[in-house]
Structure 1
C-alpha cells in the first residue's frame, strides 16, 4: 500500500485521517463526512483535485496534472486550480499573495517544497523560484464535522524587508460547473443579516468591508450550491467563514474554464504590511466545509463547529443566562437608586444577569462627552459601583457593565491629554461619528491604556460580564507616529491588539464573559467569536423584524450566541404594537434578554414574563445548543416563520411558529418536523398557544415528520411554541 497513514492510523471515523502517497504525490484529508484531496503536479504547484462528500479509502487519485491553457492568453498557471498562488508569471486570476521587494520586483512564483503532518494538521511549505520568501499552508481538519481550518504564514528570509500588498488566508477551489449559486449576507444598521443569492457567472464577485472592522454591509460568510438544489435540506453546499475582525475581502471568481475559486483574507484596499528581514506574517484563519444536506445542513455544521471548537469554553461553552439590560429604561440617566430598583424588578421575573449600560463613567450625560474617561462618575455613584453590585448579588444575579474601549469623545480628559492617540492624517479633518473618534489601538501606548483600565475595572469590582460596544467605523485611518512604510500596518495591528487585549483579559479574569456589540451586528465573525461569549445581532429589537434578522444570522452563526431582547411595544423601529407573548417567543429563539423599561410594566406584564422566562429555562439548552431546522423561513414576504431546534441527544425538539396575518380563511400550513428518530415515540406539550383538536398526545417521530402537525394560529402577529419529548424507554 503506497499511502502511509499519518496521525492516529487506527482512529475512529470521527478522527481526521491525513495521508500522503509519495509515488503520486497526492495528499488526502478524510473526515467522517468529507474528503479533501490535493496533488503536487509536474510544475511543482499544489493543485486541488477534489473537495466534497467522503470518498471510500479504495478510491485513489493519479498524479496531478496542470490544467490545459486556453490559448496563449490563459496559460496553465491561470487555469490550474492551485491551493495558493503568488502573483507572478502569467497569472491573471485572483492571486493568494502579492508582494513588493525593495528593488521594485513584484514577481512571486511559489513552488512546493515539503510537507509535515502532525495529528490533525497538515502543513505544506512553498517557496519562490529564486528569492527567499517561504509560505507555509496550514490545514487543520475537524474529523467529525468535516470543517477545515486554513491559514498561511509568509516568512521573509531575504536580506531586506518585503511589503505584502495582498494576502489570502486560503484559496478554495470548486469543480467546473455552469449552474452554481452564491449565497451571502448583507445589511445596514437596524437591517442586518439579509440573505442574498445570485447565480455565479464568469467574472468576479467581491464581498468586503473597508470599514476597519467586520461591518454590517457584508458579513465574511459564503455558501455555494447548484441552482437546481432548492430544497434547504438536500443537495451539496460548499460554505465558509473568515475569522477576521478587521477590513476583509472574499472574492468568488469563475474563470475561463468555468472553475470557481474563493479567496479570503484582509482587504487589499489601502493595504500594505511590511515584513522585516527574518520576520513572518500570519494570516487570519479561513474555515470552510461541505454539506450534502442542503443549506440547512451547512448551517448546522457551522453551528456545531462554533460551539465545539470556536467559542470560549469549547467544547462545552456556558449556556447564556437570561439577561436584563438597563438601556431602554434609563438611557444615560443612570444612578445607584434607579439601577437598584430596576435590579429588584428584573430579579422578580427570573433574570440571572443584570447589566448596567452606558452613562456610568466620566462626565457621561449624553453621547457627546466622557468616552475615554473610564472612572466611575462620583455624582451618580458616590460610593463607587460596589453598593449596586452587592445589591445585584443579593438578588441572586450576577453583574455586567457596558464599555466602549476603542472610542473617545473629543470632550474628554483623555482626548485633551492625548489628541494624537486617534486614527488621523495630520492636517486633515477628524471626522466624528456619534460624536466620537476611533482610538488607534495599533499604538502600543493606546493598547496599554485600554488593557490597563479594563483590568483595573475588573480587578476592583465583581463584574461577571462586559458588553463591549463599538459604535462607529473608521475614517482617516492614518498612523503618523510610525515610518511611512509602516503606516498601513494599522489595519492588521489594530485588530491583533484587540484580540490580544481580549485574550489577556480572559486569561487574567477567567470568570468574566464578554459580548461583542457594534451598533448592532457590525462586528460578528469567527475571529471575535473565539474571544467573546455572545454577540449582539442588531439594535433593531422589533420582534417581527427580528424574525428576518435572526433567520439571516443563523445561516452563519449559532443561535446560542445570538442575543435577543424583549423590549417595549410599540417599538421605536416601526411603531408596531406586538403582544408581550409574541415578543418573548421571538426572542426565545436565541439567547434571551430583556431590555424593556420595567418601571412601566403592569402587574400582568410581570406575571407573563415570569411564565415565559421559566419556560425558556426548560428549553434553553436545546435552543442554544441544538440542531436548527428552518421549517418555514420568513423570506420573500412569507406570512409564516417556523423554526425547530432538536436537542443534541435527540431527547426533545422545540418548535416556534409565527404568523404575520391570516388571509382569505386559509389555515396555517401543516408543519412537517425534521431531525427526529422515526421509530421513537414523542409526547407533544404546548408551552404557549394551541394545536388542532385532533392532535394526538404522543406519536412516532415518523408521524410528526411525515403526517405533520396542525397549529391553531389566526389573526395578526400571532405566535406559539410547543415541545416534543422522547418518551422514557425510547432511545
Structure 2
C-alpha cells in the first residue's frame, strides 16, 4: 500500500519508495501538513507543530477557550484560504455572492482508490491500478457549503506524488474563483533556496539559484503560454544540496498556459510554496452545482541531490506523461529546411535537399513555414491552411510522394493558433481574432491570435488540420506558436466572464491537439513556441518532443539543454545541427561539436546539405551512425550532469544504462586555454566491481585513434575519475564510451 488513512489519529500518510508525505485533521477540522521528506513510518508527526499563540495571528472562534489553539496564520496547511485569518500567500481566493472573499475549509471525508485519477479536458500523469493509488480528501466551508476535493496520486516506485483540486459550488448562490491553485506546500522549518529557470527567446531555462528570504518571491507568466521567460518547473532545496547529496523537492506544473509559483518565508521562518494558474488573468464563475478542475502538479522529493530528483521527473515524464506510438519508439533523424531556406523554396529545392539527406541516413524531411496560402514572409497567410501549389510547383501529395519515394518520412509545419490580418480567414472572420472591441490590437511578428476559447474556431482549425493531413503522406507535424497573448477578450464570452478566456484558450488548444492525435494516432508531433516558449509537462502529454530553442548555436545550447535537463528528459529535447557561422550568434564551431551537442536530444539537422563539402557529408553520415548506435542509451539512459556550463570551462554530461552495462560521456570545451590543467570527471551509475573498456567515439568518420583504449574498474572511474582529452581546437568535443566487460 502507498496510502494509509488512520481514522483514529485522523492522519493520511502517503508512502513512496523513499519518501513520506503526511497530513492530519486537527480538533477544529483544519487539514494540517505535518511532513514531507525522507521515508519514515506511519506515526503521527503532528507533534512537530507547536500550538503557538502569537500576537496579531488570530484563531478560529471555536478555539477561543482552548489552551492549544493554533492560528491559521501559523499552521502548516494543506490548502490555504484567503480572507479568514491566514495572511500568507494563499491557494484559494473566492468572491461570494454577497461580495465577501472569505472561505474556511474543514475536513469532510476521504476516499481511496486504486489507479490514478484523471482530470477532464486537461493533461495529467496516467497510471494503472498496479502503478498508482489515489487519495481524495473532501474539504467544505461550513458556512457557505463550498466544497474542495484535494486529489493525490501516488506512484510509489517512482517517488512521485501528484496533486490537483476540484472546486464544487454547493452554495445557494454564484461563486467567483479569483485564485484556485493546484497545491500548497508548507515547511515548518529549514533555511531553503530555490532553483528556477528563467530566460528569453533563444535563451531559455537558465538556472538561477537564490535564497528563499523573508517575504514573497515568485515566477510566472501572463503571456498566454508558459513562456520562454520562466519555466513552470522549480526546485526547493537545502543550502548545501548539489548533484549527489542534499534534500530537495521538485515541482512541475502540468499546464501550458499562464502560471504562478510563489514562495514565502513567514514571521517564524516557515516556508510556503504555492503553484497554479496565474490569478492576474483569472476569474472563473461557478453557478450552483458547477465545478472547476485545476491543472495538475507533479511533486518529488530526493535526499540524494538534484541528480536523483531529475531522474524521478525524467522517468515519470517518459513513462506516465508522454503517450502514444512514439512514447518508446525510436524517433527518426530529421532534417528541417527552415535555416536552410527560410521562406525561399520550391518543391524542387526541397526535394534536392531531401535527396542529399536520404543518402546520408536522414529519415525524415520536415517542410517548415511558407508552404501555404500567401506566405513568402511573416506578414501574411497565417490561418489559410491550403497548400500554395504555385509556389511548390506541385500538390502537397505530389511533394510528399517524391520525398517518401526517397525512403524518407515527410513532415510539415503548422502554426494553428495564430492568424495574419492579411489572410482570407481574417477577412472572413475578423471576430475570431483576439482583440478588445474599440482598441487596436498589439501585434507581434505581424500576427494576431486566434480565439481558441471558441468552439467554432477549434472545430474549424481541427477540420483544416485533418484535411491537410489526409491529403498527403504526412507522418510528422511541428506545431509552432510564435507570440505571446495580450488584449485578452473573447466575443463569445459575456463581460463578467472575460476572466475565463485565458484558461478556456488552453482547454481549447488541448481539445484540438487531442482531436488531431485521435484522428491520426501514428503522427509524431513536435511542440514548438518560437523554440522553447512552451516547454512544459502539459505539452509533452501531446507531443513527446519539443523544439528546445530557436538558438541552434552549439555553445549556447550547452546552457539551454543543461537547464532543461533538471526537469525534463533528453528524449523530449528537440536538438539540431545547424550551419556555421551560426544564424543566431555568428559563432563558428566544428561540425563534430555541433553533432555531439545535438545528440543530447532528439537529433537532426537544420541546414542546406547541398552547400556542404564532401568531407562534411562523410562526417554527417558518421554522426547519424553514432546516434543510431547509441540511441537507446541516449533516450532512455540515466542522465548525469557531471559539470555545469555556468562554472566549468568544459561541459560534461553522461548517459548511463540503467543496468550499468554501458555509458556515454560527452564533453565540450567552451573556451580554449593554453597550458591548461588536466580535466577529470567522475562518472556515475556504474557497477563498482565491474571492469569497463574505455574508448573514444569516432565522431568525424576519419577513424583516427585519438585516445588509447583502457580497461578500468567502475570503482576507479567513479572515485578516481576519468581524465578527459584536452582541447585540440576551438570548442573541441569528445564522446567517450564505457562498455562493461
TM > 0.5? yes
Q: How many residues align?
A: 707
Deviation at 1:546, TM superposition (A): 0.7
Q: Which residue among 527, 544, 563 is the counterpart of 1:516? A: 527
Shift of 1:318: 2.4
Question: Retained in 1: the 8 A contact 2:389–2:396?
Answer: no
The answer on 1:24 being equivalent to 2:9 is yes
Q: Give the one of 664, 671, 689 matched to 1:679.
A: 689
SS at match of 2:200: coil
Question: Are the equivalent residues in 1 in contact too, given 2:382–2:415 (CA < 8 A)?
Answer: yes
- Are 1:460 and 2:445 counterparts? no
Which one of the candidate residues 170, 177, 182 is aligned to 2:183? 170
**How many angstroms apart in 2 are the aligned matches of 1:335 and 1:105?**
63
Q: Unmatched 5+ residue regions in structure 2?
A: 60-70, 115-132
Query: Do the aligned partners of residues 660 and 668 (structure 1) sit closer, same or farther apart at CA in structure 2, a change above 3 Å counting?
Result: farther
1:286 positional shift: 0.8
Deviation per CA, 1:402-427, whole angstroms, max 9, x where unpaired? 00000000000000111111111111
Distance 1:576 1:327 in 2: 19
Structure 1 length as normaliser, TM-score? Answer: 0.94
- 2:324 match: 313
Aligned-residue RMSD, C-alpha: 1.7
**1:36 is aligned to 2:21:** yes
1:85 corresponds in structure 2 to 80
Q: CA deviation at 1:64?
A: 8.5
* SS of equivalent to 1:313: coil
Aligned residue in 1 for 2:123 = none
Equivalent residue, structure 1, for 2:101: 106
Do the aligned partners of residues 484 and 268 (structure 1) sit closer, same or farther apart at CA in structure 2, a change above 3 Å counting?
A: same
Aligned partner of 2:244 among 218, 229, 233: 233
Q: What displacement does 1:557 show?
A: 1.0
1:118 equivalent in structure 2: 113
Aligned counterpart, 2:64: none
Rounded to whole Å, the distance in 1 between the matches of 2:606 and 2:29 is 59
Contact 1:43 1:66 in 2 (8 A): no
Secondary structure (helix, strand or coil) at the match of 2:597 reads: helix
Runs of at least 4 residues off by over 4 Å: 62-67, 689-693
Q: Which residue number in structure 2 is paired with residue 196 of structure 1?
A: 208
Whole-angstrom distance in 1 between the partners of 2:89 and 2:220: 15
By how many angstroms is 1:249 displaced?
0.4
SS in 2 for 1:78: coil
Who is 1:710 aligned against? 723
Q: Judge conservation of contact 1:480–1:487 (CA < 8 Å) in 2.
A: no
Q: Is the CA contact (8 Å cut-off) linking 1:307 and 1:315 kept in structure 2?
A: no
Q: CA deviation at 1:459?
A: 2.2
Closer/same/farther in 2, CA of residues 432 and 545 from structure 1, 3 Å limit = same
Q: Which of 250, 266, 270 lines up with 2:261 in the alignment? A: 250
Distance 1:360 1:315 in 2: 26
| Unmatched runs of 5 consecutive residues or more in structure 1 | 1-8, 10-16
Please give the residue correspondences for 1:403-414 in structure 2 after superposition, counting only pairs within 5 Å: 403-414=414-425
1:384 deviation in Å?
1.6
Match of 1:350 in 2: 361
Give how far 1:365 is off: 1.0
Residues 271 and 628 of structure 1: CA distance in aligned 2, closer, same or farther (over 3 Å): same
Name the SS of the counterpart of 2:474 in structure 1.
coil
Give CA deviations for 1:516-552 in whole Å, capped at 9, x if unaligned.
1001111011111111121011101011111111111
SS of the aligned residue for 2:223 comes to: strand
CA distance in 1, matches of 2:697, 2:585: 28
Provide the secondary structure at the position in 2 that maps to 1:348: helix
2:220 is matched with which residue? 208
CA distance, structure 2, for counterparts of residue 314 and residue 26 of structure 1: 41
Counterparts of 1:305-384 in structure 2, within 5 Å, are 305-313=316-324, 317-384=328-395
Is 1:655 the counterpart of 2:665 in the alignment?
yes
* Structure-to-structure mapping, 1:608-647, within 5 angstroms: 608-636=619-647, 638-647=648-657
Per-residue Cα deviation, 1:230-256 (whole angstroms, up to 9, x for no partner): x32111111111111111101111111
**Post-superposition offset of 1:332:** 1.1
Does the 8 A contact of 1:688 with 1:722 survive in 2? no
Contact 2:57 2:73 in 1 (8 A): no
Q: Displacement of 1:190 after TM fit? A: 1.3
Aligned to 2:516: 505
Offset of 1:342 from its aligned partner? 1.1
Whole-Å separation in 2 of the counterparts to 1:709 and 1:314: 39
Give 1:445's aligned residue.
456
Task: Provide the C-alpha distance between the structure 1 equivalents of 2:212 and 2:45, rounded to a whole number of angstroms.
Answer: 28
TM-score, length of structure 2 as denominator length: 0.93
The residue correspondences of 1:279-318 to structure 2 (distance < 5 A) are 279-313=290-324, 317-318=328-329
SS at match of 1:451: helix
Distance 2:173 2:325 in 1: 42
CA contact (8 A) 1:713 1:719 kept: no
SS state of the match for residue 379, structure 1? helix
The CA deviation at 1:696 is 5.5
Query: 1:72 aligns to what?
Result: 56
For residues 278 and 678 of structure 1, do their structure 2 counterparts lie closer, same or farther at Cα, with a shift above 3 Å needed? same
Q: Supply the distance in 2 between the matched residues of 1:672 and 1:317 (Cα, whole angstroms).
A: 29
Quick one: distance in 1 between partners of 2:218 and 2:623? Answer: 43
Q: CA deviation at 1:602?
A: 0.9
CA distance in 2, matches of 1:661, 1:283: 46
Q: Measure the CA separation in 1 of the matches of 2:706 and 2:388.
A: 57
